[in-house]
């Protein structure tokens, strides 16, 4: 099975792109995938209405699967979200209501559809992806029935040796959380039974859960299935992906504007560029290798390419180009500033005394408090139309309006335009 020109196989591409950490049986999986289409899945948390950058890796894992002629399934844990994965977490996850989860599922489905050709229900093409809610089989499962059918296949002794559990022995974990791996293994079992699914991809922290699923499939379905893990992605500075001052970087344009999304990628650490190009874009290896040759300040070009590609994948070509133009306007001169975050204001607001700069900064959300705004001014971090503001009492008046807008700048990177009408 090979429909990709650049790579002989899915596994080869996953390796080249840095998605390959560990595989339960690489040779067997490779052979299986070479003989025909295979169904594989990855899981997503429906803890919010939108996915964020952290989900991009499993998403891309599914994208590559589909591009290699296999069928991807995105399983969204509508059932398991009510439990919570113990690994890495110090606290019990807050529980979501069914209504919350259903709303989140709808949002996530729309986002996944941007990446994967989805076609649920009858009439789906054989390789079209599916999004499945494990609540379908988990919510109505009776406890006794579940224990008898599934529970008997699990050894507590073995469960206790899993890292996800071991790491919690000090701080403690609830029985509820302890069950997470069983529920997850059950997902694999059901996907195998109902969809012939034979592969699970997940983060390396999911290795234990994946192995549990494989064992369960073997015992109950007598099916040989496989697992493949990707490394947990951290930035060069050891941070989790997608954390910024403003919080998580979301895929939803309403939560993180395409411009801010674009900027996130432009601002990644030099050391991360190569890795990210491989993981988060679909650029051909030759193109990526060219970009990887760039040195010093030229690395910025690679970052722009990265930002442009990822933003295109998530928000579309037009939004990506507009973000690029806006970034050029903000940082280089030239370019079209339209995509820079802005807010609308009436000309009358600027008449006479005008507006307090401090108040405006807080009102448009550039700062969290007026105290922060004042501090910023004191430290010389605020500019109006390019000129540093020295006076905390600064007011924005009619004279500050240039070509229908007032350009605000915080620090070196944050920009906001006040659009003034009439």
Partner RNA sequence: GGGGGGGUUCCCGAGCGGUCAAAGGGAACAGACUGUAAAUCUGUCGGCGUACGCCUUCGGAGGUUCGAAUCCUCCCCCCCCCA
Residues lying near RNA in the complex (CB under 7 A) are found at: 90, 169-173, 236-237, 239, 244-245, 263, 266-270, 296-297, 299-300, 303-304, 327-328, 330-332, 362, 368-372, 374-376, 379-381, 392-393, 410-414
To RNA, the closest distance from the beta carbon of 239 in angstroms equals 6
To RNA, the closest distance from the beta carbon of 82 in angstroms equals 18
To RNA, the closest distance from the beta carbon of 265 in angstroms equals 10
Instruction: For RNA, give the closer residue by CB, 183 or 307.
Output: 307
Instruction: For RNA, give the closer residue by CB, 236 or 318.
Output: 236
Instruction: For RNA, give the closer residue by CB, 144 or 245.
Output: 245
Instruction: For RNA, give the closer residue by CB, 290 or 368.
Output: 368
Q: Could you write out the three-class secondary structure of the chain?
A: CCCCCCCCCHHHHHHHHCCCCEECCHHHHHHHHHHCCCEEEEEECCCCCCCEHHHHHHHHHHHHHHHCCCEEEEEECCCHHHCCCCCCCCCCCCCCCHHHHHHHHHHHHHHHHHHCCECCCCCCCCCCEEEEECHHHHCCCCHHHHHHHCHHHCCHHHHHHCHHHHCCCCCCCCHHHHCHHHHHHHHHHHHHHHHCEEEEEEEHHHHHHHHHHHHHHHHHHCCCCEEEEECCCECCCCCECCEECCEECECCCCCCCHHHHHHHHHCCCHHHHHHHHHHHCCCCHHHHHHHHCCCHHHHHHHHHHHHHHHHHHHHCHHHHHHHHHHHHHHHCCCCCHHHCCEEEEEHHHHCCCCEEHHHHHHHCCCCCCHHHHHHHHHCCCEEECCEECCCCCCEECHHHCECCEEEEEECCCEEEEEEEEC
To RNA, the closest distance from the beta carbon of 251 in angstroms equals 20
Q: Identify which of 262, 280, 273 has the alpha carbon closest to the alpha carbon of residue 295.
A: 273
Instruction: For RNA, give the closer residue by CB, 64 or 415.
Output: 415
Distances (CA, A) of 271 to 123, 139, 234, 276, 303: 46, 44, 11, 9, 11
To RNA, the closest distance from the beta carbon of 236 in angstroms equals 7
Instruction: For RNA, give the closer residue by CB, 207 or 265.
Output: 265
> What tokens were used for 405?
């807008």
Instruction: For RNA, give the closer residue by CB, 404 or 411.
Output: 411
To RNA, the closest distance from the beta carbon of 111 in angstroms equals 25
Instruction: For RNA, give the closer residue by CB, 99 or 169.
Output: 169
To RNA, the closest distance from the beta carbon of 297 in angstroms equals 4
To RNA, the closest distance from the beta carbon of 90 in angstroms equals 7
Instruction: For RNA, give the closer residue by CB, 64 or 414.
Output: 414
Q: Identify which of 289, 266, 404 has the alpha carbon closest to the alpha carbon of residue 342.
A: 404
To RNA, the closest distance from the beta carbon of 258 in angstroms equals 14
């Amino acid at each position: 099975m090979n429909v990709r020109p650049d790579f002989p196989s899915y596994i080869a591409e996953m390796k080249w792109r840095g998605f390959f950490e560990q595989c339960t049986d690489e040779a067997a999986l490779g052979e299986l995938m070479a003989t025909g289409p295979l169904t594989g899945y990855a899981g997503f948390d429906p803890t919010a209405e939108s996915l964020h950058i952290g989900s991009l890796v499993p998403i891309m894992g599914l994208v590559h699967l589909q591009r290699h002629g296999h069928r991807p399934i995105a399983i969204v844990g509508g059932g398991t979200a009510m439990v919570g994965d113990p690994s890495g977490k110090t606290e019990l996850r807050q529980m979501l209501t069914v209504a919350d989860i259903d709303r989140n599922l709808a949002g996530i489905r729309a986002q996944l559809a941007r990446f994967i050709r989805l076609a649920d229900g009858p009439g789906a093409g054989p390789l079209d992806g599916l999004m499945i809610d494990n609540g379908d089989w988990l919510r109505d499962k009776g406890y006794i029935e579940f224990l008898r059918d599934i529970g008997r296949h699990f050894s507590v002794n073995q469960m206790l040796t899993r890292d996800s559990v071991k790491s919690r022995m000090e701080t403690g974990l609830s029985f509820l959380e302890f069950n997470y791996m069983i529920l997850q293994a059950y997902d694999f079992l059901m996907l195998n039974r109902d969809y012939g699914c034979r592969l699970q991809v997940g983060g390396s922290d999911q290795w234990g859960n994946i192995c549990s699923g494989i064992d369960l499939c073997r015992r109950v379905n007598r099916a040989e299935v496989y697992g493949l893990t990707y490394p947990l992605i951290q930035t060069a500075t050891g941070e989790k992906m997608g954390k910024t001052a403003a919080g998580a970087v979301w895929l939803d344009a309403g939560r993180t504007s395409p411009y801010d999304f674009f900027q996130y990628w432009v601002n990644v650490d030099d050391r991360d560029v190569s890795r990210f190009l491989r993981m988060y874009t679909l650029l051909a290896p030759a193109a990526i290798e060219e970009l990887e040759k760039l040195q010093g300040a030229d690395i910025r070009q690679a970052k722009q390419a990265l930002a442009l590609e990822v933003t295109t994948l998530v928000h579309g070509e037009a939004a990506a180009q507009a973000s690029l133009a806006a970034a050029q306007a903000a940082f280089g001169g030239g370019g079209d500033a339209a995509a820079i975050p802005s807010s609308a204001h009436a000309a009358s607001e600027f008449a006479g005394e005008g507006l307090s700069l401090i108040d405006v900064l807080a009102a448009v959300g550039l700062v969290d408090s007026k105290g922060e705004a004042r501090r910023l001014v004191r430290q010389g971090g605020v500019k109006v139309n390019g000129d540093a503001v020295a006076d905390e009492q600064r007011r924005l008046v009619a004279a500050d309006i240039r070509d229908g807008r007032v350009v605000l700048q915080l620090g070196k990177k944050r920009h906001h335009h006040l659009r003034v009408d009439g």
